[in-house]
Structure 1
Amino acid sequence: MKSFENKVAAITGASSGIGRALACHLARQGCHLALSDINVEGLKETAEQARKLGVSVSQQQVDVADRAAVEAWAEQIVSEFGRVNAIFNNAGVAQGGTVEGNAYADYEWIMSINFWGVVNGTKAFLPYLKAAGQGHVVNVSSVFGLFSQPGMSAYNASKFAVRGFTESLRQELDMAACGVSASCVHPGGIRTNIAKTARMNDSLAKVTGQAAEQARQQFNDQLLRTTPEQAARVIVNGVLVNKRRILIGADAHALDWMQRSMPALYQRLVTLSMRLAARFAPKTRGTDGVREIS
């Protein structure tokens, strides 16, 4: 697509962060919106902001892990707007813990949202995008879909899966020449609520030297550099030039380069840096034997 003017875009995870920023950025370009999230109050706020920009907006509470709900939402959008031209599969969650410390349920939970949510959204909307004659599937992975680190196995697995799924989809769409394309988005540290709401367990102390809450706070304070608004601009501009891979932030570009140039060696460098960070992390001794900030 060369323009979003008078197009219809569906966005999951639209109650805050990148989803809200995408909604407002697309609305400024004259794109009509169908927004979803499980957070009803945040979704309402996003929809109100977008409507003030002069476009038609619908909103629906949808759990992306619920396939039937996603399919019903896609059908509802086409019934209301007459078409849909883009699906931004943006909804996602995070989880931290070691492989040994995580429960099976941790992997099932994150995959149901981060991976199956993308699969559900893609398959539900793809026939309608093709019917519109012009469309784009935008699946949000992560820098952790390019680059792994200890304590993030569940998140890494889900985001690597999104990357593999989307790259295969893009190749199939290229071969079909059907007017629909696909892009995979790899954000670095974006100032959203995902880290604040992440599920973490204290097995993280084995790799960070800190209890889960302290590790979360340090991540928020030191690594979340890019604003959602900056991310939204990069994503939309990437879609308009039909990029296959959309990297967001200097950290994403640096880590992508490191993984490409040293695909095996980077793992040793990550291990070394994590050991040093754990050794020098400020901490005091907790009553349970875990060192944490008082």
Structure 2
Amino acid sequence: MTSWREGSCCLESLECSWWFHWLFLHEIVAYLQGWQFRNLNLHILPNALDFEGLLHMEYVGWLRFRVEYIAPPVQSLDRMVLCMGCFWIRYKKVKPRFAGDPFKVDDVEGSASHYPKVLIQIPMCNEREVYEQSISAVCQIDWPRDCLLIQVLDDSDDESIQCIIKTEVSKWSRKGVNIIYRHRLNRTGYKAGNLKSAMSCDYVKGYESVAIFDADFQPNPDFLLQTVPHFKDNPELGLVQARWSFVNKDENLLTRLQNINLCFHFEVEQQVNGLFLNFFGFNGTAGVWRIKAREVSGG
């Protein structure tokens, strides 16, 4: 014999299951109809004259409920967990480290260093104000010149800007830096297309890693020495993301607020996700990719 309490639990379970399947049906219909891609006004209900309109109306109501009652506590819980993870990292003093000189090898004649070949890409488009500082900083990175290739990927449509960037590249090339200027006539894919197109050049074959810097970034001379060693003896590692900082973070209130937001992103979000989930998003610049990882993931 089934007791009243057991029967009540069964009814509650069936009711929850029914609601779950009903919401799941809404999500499927919304996906097939493309409702999630529309700019829905959650305060104006759509016309419910037919069955599809009724589903659409209920879907909008479900979205409103999610926005007002589910999203805020979930987001707060997410931030709290991230902060707790950050405190744990600080308490345990967890930092990415590598021991000694990872590129030092012992041979018959003594000790020598074997550095992997690194490609650096600087995508830019009409960057008249910052191109010089960026190219100068990258060309002064501490790395053996025979193991380093710099690509200046210029998508500028202004011929005067193209000319001054070419001049800057030629200046550093005469100083012995292995640097190449590349300009596309067709800006397909914009920045991502520019980077992918440059990887198809024959002269980049044999390079193991690629570092990417936007035109307004000025990496420190030891950037590669602090990032590339993490790839050694770690074949599962595909990306090393470096932290950003603002040159003018103390200029005004807006730059200070932006710096606070950026610090939270790198210090909390990126660091915690990278340590506990072993996964985080690439920020688009100031990172080093294993080229094989990019190729496997589709470029």
TM-score bracket for the superposition, by shorter chain length? 0.3 to 0.5
Rg comparison, structure with higher value: 2
TM-score (norm 2): 0.34
Q: What TM-score results when the alignment is normalised by the length of structure 1?
A: 0.34
